[in-house]
Amino acid sequence: MEKVKKTAEQWRAELSPEVFYITREAGTERPYSGQYNDFHQTGDYYCACCGGLLFRSQHKFDSHCGWPAFYEQAEPDSTYRVRDTSHGMIREEVRCSRCDAHLGHVFPDGPKPTGERYCINSLAMVFEAK
């Protein structure tokens, strides 16, 4: 996989202020505000920054957490995790493997078969219907 590397200025010029805040500054959408939270179409979800494949609709589930939730990433190397100790919590941050965009967090309370819940910001993704 070819890494996408750009300066903050380059990202800022390409992305909307909201997408820049979420993906490049590790922001978070308000719960239940994202376009993919209550969304059930068939297709794939790609990184809003670099277009890398992140998640597939067949791995999406209704977690009622306020953000789109997936129990598995599209490919084993679609994302990677970083320890996040911000806001007085210890969490696993999820980032895009191609461009290091902040996507959201992963928690150990998802459904089988993985038991994981990737809690992802809608603004960090672009959906392509199948």
Catalytic site positions: 119
**Closest of 1, 19, 22 to residue 78, by C-alpha:** 1
Containing H/E element for 120? strand 117-120
Report how far apart, in Å, the C-alpha atoms of 48 and of each of 23, 37, 93, 102 are.
8, 16, 17, 10
